[in-house]
Amino acid sequence: MTAALTQSKRNINLILELSITQFKLKYAGSILGYMWSLIKPLMIFATMYIIFAKMFHMGKGTPDFPFQLLVAIVIWNFFGDTTGQTMNAIVANGSLVQKTYFPRWILVIATTISSLMTFVINMILVLIVGMFLHTIHPGWQSLLVPFFCFEIYLFAIGLSLFLSALYVQFRDVGHVWEWFSQLLFYGSAVVYPITFIPNHVAQTIIAINPITQVIEDVRYSIVTQSIEPLNHLLGSLYIVPYVFVAISILVGAFVFSRLSSQFAEHL
């Protein structure tokens, strides 16, 4: 009993130290340092805003579309950063894996922590900005936002476990994922409102993806209640995104635990 407690205390301690180190190294040698993690979503937002809102008029008829776009970019940025960086978690820490023993999932979790912190800070900043611009219309449903944030975090962890374990043996995964996350970016309702898709089948396919679900639900919860909530759109299919998240965690954990015993040999 006490041994188990000590072990989990050691694991938490190791996660903290590893994530602090990664955080320090990530911003070492840059003048703006941590500011970059706040500036980057803004820059992506500016680009997407000019292209999709100004040139293609995609948000027409959607209230406060620029702010909705900003919220979506912050959420997407968290998901993309986490999966992209964490895929490398085992390989990048090869010497640790080959020379010490600790549960390998610690590396995956530790790598997600700094993106998670950035995400939380970004969300809070977005809320503050939204309050100043009066683009936030909070209600009881706003209390669900932390839940949605946690949901996308779980989705990212599930995928990261899967990807990082495969990446040890198959570096091809890196290239495939690069392409696939592009596809996910455009296949999730990030740069357009879900109602922009005219075809009902296509709309449903896009809507059952957990990233779309989280983005649309967060938009609905804090930005405006005048858009159609996703559960109306999907009906009984509204459960599907959650099923995807659950599958990603289960499959990710299974694959990771099967392969993790051989990481040291394959590195």
Residues 101-140 vs other proteins: string with x where CB under 8 A? xx--------------------------------------
CB of 99 to other proteins, least distance (A): 5
Compute how many residues bind other proteins; rule: CB under 8 A: 30
CB of 94 to other proteins, least distance (A): 11
Distances from the Cα of 65 to the Cα of 58, 129, 135, 242, angstroms: 9, 14, 10, 26
**Is 18 or 58 the residue whose CB approaches other proteins more closely?**
18
Give the span between the Cα atoms of 70 and 67, in whole angstroms. Answer: 5
Q: Residue 83: which of 252, 247, 236 has the closest Cα?
A: 252
CB of 140 to other proteins, least distance (A): 40
Q: Is 178 in the site for other proteins (CB under 8 A)?
A: no
Give the span between the Cα atoms of 90 and 112, in whole angstroms. Answer: 13
- 3-state SS class at 137: coil
**Is 164 or 203 the residue whose CB approaches other proteins more closely?**
164
**Is 155 or 256 the residue whose CB approaches other proteins more closely?**
256
**Cβ-contact 107, 93 below 8 angstroms:** yes
**Is 92 or 246 the residue whose CB approaches other proteins more closely?**
92
Residues 67-106 vs other proteins: string with x where CB under 8 A? ----------------------------xxxxxxxx----
- 3-state SS class at 60: coil
Q: Residue 169: which of 82, 88, 263 has the closest Cα?
A: 263
Q: Residue 82: which of 39, 112, 126 has the closest Cα?
A: 112
Q: Is 18 in the site for other proteins (CB under 8 A)?
A: yes
**Is 14 or 234 the residue whose CB approaches other proteins more closely?**
14
Q: Is 16 in the site for other proteins (CB under 8 A)?
A: yes
Taking CB under 8 A as the binding criterion, the range among 112-120, 138-146, 214-222, 258-266 that sits at the site for other proteins is 258-266
Q: Which of 88, 117, 125, 169 binds other proteins (CB under 8 A)?
A: 169
* Site of tokens 């109602």: 195
Q: Is 25 in the site for other proteins (CB under 8 A)?
A: yes
Q: Classify residue 223 by its DSSP letter.
A: I
Residue 15 CB contacts under 8 Å (≥ 6 apart), including other chains:
106, 109, 110, 113
Give the span between the Cα atoms of 108 and 87, in whole angstroms. Answer: 8
Q: Is 170 in the site for other proteins (CB under 8 A)?
A: yes
The region that residue 28 occupies, defined by phi over 0 for left and psi between -120 and 50 for alpha, beta otherwise, is beta
| 124: its two tokens | 């809070």
**Is 20 or 133 the residue whose CB approaches other proteins more closely?**
20
**Is 148 or 167 the residue whose CB approaches other proteins more closely?**
167
The residues of the shown chain that bind other proteins, judged by CB under 8 A, are 9-10, 13-14, 16-18, 20-21, 24-25, 28, 95-102, 169-173, 176, 261-262, 264-265
